[in-house]
Every structure is written in structure tokens, then in C-alpha cells.
A and B are shown apart, each in its own frame.
Chain A
């Protein structure tokens, strides 16, 4: 049970070998060109102009084409022509596998259907966020996937509440945290109550009786659960075209007190209500981009 990409799914099903996947990826890398390469090939821009756009992109999060138009290297029409050419020559991994002999068309259709069913539990549902938050689909996906993995992965009976803006996260018996970097920068924090920690530990350790487990193992299980959730978030984000790297998990215990939202961050908190009345929280501290 995890967010996967199609090539990985095919290997797990025994449909292709890892060598066949790498061969198909090689073909994709040769065929699927970046927009900079496309505009050069179309003689719309010189290498010098392309380098200037890349340099400008280092200081802000904009797409190559948009920046090239803004800097006057391309007209809007030329950009659209280049994007169309890029789209028309793009090949997906399934097509690449057929072209390199790794898979036939009939098998591809069958496995695509199976893959769609396998990934159905991870389709993102809409979650309402306060107005004015940038990159909303990413934070919605994080909250939604966390809820799904708590209920379907850890088997927890819980219900998410409405998102709130916070300045500090309430002190709980343990908080597991992972940092996100890449296209977005944020901190992901999951608080625990004694009961939620036990439910999570049971699912990670795959053992029913965990009453004699030391706190260290229970906390470590929660950190691993958060690691798995965030790995799946990174995979889902990649499907949405957003690259996210995750740091190894860390833990805050009750003696650390409330976790404050740092300056220049927006704190989102999603309360999670357990069926026994306890509440714990998912929080995302979003690093605000410079205006």
C-alpha cells in the first residue's frame, strides 16, 4: 500500500525487469526534451539567451518559458508553439517500454487498468484551506494523504476537522517532524496522544501486543510512520509536477513545550478526532516565499 509510479508497479508485478525499465527511461530522456532545448532547436533562442534565462530562474521560482517571455526572448505565440512541439514529441513510460521491446500494447493496457485501481485509494480529495495560502493543492494533498494513511494504513478510527491558522502547536506527549525542501519549503509535524501513538506503533511493528514496548520504540514507530507518509507525499507531489525532498524524521517530547511557528512561516493545523474523543493534530509550517 503506497503511492507508486507506473514503472515501479510493473516491476513489482513481474511484468518487466529493472533493466527494461532503465532502457525505457533512457529513451524517454533522449526524447522528452526540456523547453530550452526545444526553443533552441526551433531557432527561437540562442544558447546565450537560454543561459540568461536559466541564470534569472536561480533567483525566483518561475518556469523557463514564462521567464523567457518576461525577459523579451520569446513572444507568447512562440512560447505556445514550442510548448505544443514539446507536448507532441513527449513519450510516457508505457510508450517507451513498447518502443524498447519491454512490454506489448495489450499488456500495457491491462497493467494500466490494474495500476489505476491500485492507486485509486490515493486520489486526492478536496480539503478547504484558509484563503490566501500559496500552493494550496500541495498542502491539501498532504493533509488528505495523511488522513488516508491514518485510516487505511494504520487502521485508525478518526475524522479530520477543519483547517485552522495557528501560531503555535499545542504541547503533546510526542511530536514527530519532517522537513520538506525542493520546490516548496515547509515543516510537517504530527502530534500524538497516548492512544494514537499505540495505534500507529501497532501498524508499524505489525504486532498486536505492544503494551510492554519501551517509549523509545513507540516514538520511533511514530517517526517511521511519518517518514512513510512523507515519502508517499513526495511521490504524490512528483505526480503533480512538484519536486519535494524530505529530511530524516526528528521527535519533540513534552518537555520541549509547544512548537512555535517560526517567523516568515504560515502555520496550518488540521485537528484529527479519534473515535474515543481524543484529539491530535497534523500541522504544516509553510515557509513563505519572498514577495
Chain B
């Protein structure tokens, strides 16, 4: 199985963004998807760094793709996403709008925010030129198995959300701005102080969600540690790792070792939990009763 790095979901300062992708050049991953997924207002801060990051990663032997925005509504967002293809890098669509901008038959990838729930949809995307599809994180293992089989029949590589806070929802409203009594248009970049999202607790004080501007993520980090054998058996071709502000190189290395069989089950997740205070894991979408369920022993929330 291969490793794909998801586009960062967070708003990082340009220097940090640049350093993250420089560091990633030495990480043991096959593929990196980068660009702005969540909010078009963030892009101007780091877009000038993108070509250099693409070049660095390509020189390091990685396959590089550019993501579309997850929710395209405004005129400037339409224009900007229509121009993505001009950069000469394969596009990963995360809003179907981005597919409408690609010439028919052009090769592209499909991200986890496109609803690929069944074989007909997978085959339709393949017929339009999709070469790789990362499935929506909420899919159970049975669906993953059926889709990986359908993918292998029509030459589409199927990928699964492997590690990181799970994208659960996207909205027209910016919750970070709302929290600060502002509107989205006048947000003053309220999300910039939360490089891994902002913890949202329930009334009994349980950490539950993570706020990230217009996006809502899980509080828990998805972790495929206990699922890797089943995913391999299902024919899944890659795991997707979602960038986090600290210790991401270690995550890449841990998954590589786990895939190579040099790390026993349970060690990867134990090390991921040890990365920071308050890191909780989940793998329930694949096999549990609820998305938040976890196969391992959980540190107390």
C-alpha cells in the first residue's frame, strides 16, 4: 500500500506552510496533494509558495497533485478553480465544479469530499478520466471492499482516509468568525491561531469536534492502525494521511513501518497518542458502531 498526504485543512502562516512542504520532501510517502481545500480567503497568503513546493516535492520523487476548493460558490472561486489546470499538475477534485473545468478525458483524481458511495458512481468517474479516488471517510469496510473491487476492474486506484482529524462538514458560514462575533466576509482570519483546529466540547465537557473556519472536523484523529490488514485484503491501494502542525514526519514514518510490517499492531497508535496531550483516536467509520468508536484502548477524554 502507498501513502498519500492530504492537502492541509488548516490555515498556517506562509513560512510554516513552506517549511512543512520542504520537510515533506524527505518523508516516506509516494504522493502529496496540496493547495487550498477549505477557504479561498486563505490562499493569497501562501499561493506564491506553491510552485516551489511542487518542484521540491517532484524533485524528491513524489507525485504531486493540486486540490480544488471543497465548496465553490463565489465568482472569484470559480475563476481560480478554473485556472488550476493551467499549473500543469494533476487536479484532485473536491467539488464537482472542478470537474466541469477539465477537458473531457483529462486524467484527474477524486478527493474524499466527493460523494463516491457506490460502484456506479465510481465507474462514472472512471469514465470521465478519474485515475484515483479517495473514498469519503464515513464509508464502512463493506463499502470500501466493494469499491476497491470495482476500482480494480476499471483501473482506478482506491484510497482510504488513514490518519488525521476527519472532515465531517463544510458550510457557507464561518464558525470561527461567528465565535468572534464576526461574519465570514469580515472574519479577520479568526482561524489563524488554531493550526490544528479549535476544540469544541459538549456540555459535560467531552471533546467532540474541532472547528476550522467553514469546516467542522472530528476532535479525534482517525487512525488506521488496527484496520491495515483488512484494508490490504480489500485491495485498497493507498492510505491518506492528513497534515498536522506537529510531528507529521513521524506519522508518515510510523505508517511506512506499519505497512512494511516492522511495527506491530498497536504501536503506531500508541505513538500517535503520545505525540501530544489530548490526542484521541478513532476508526469507527470503518468498523465501529459510530464514527467516533476506537478499536484500541483510549486515553481518558
* B is bound to A: no
Q: Which residues of A contact B (CB under 8 A)?
A: none
Q: Which residues of B contact A (CB under 8 A)?
A: none
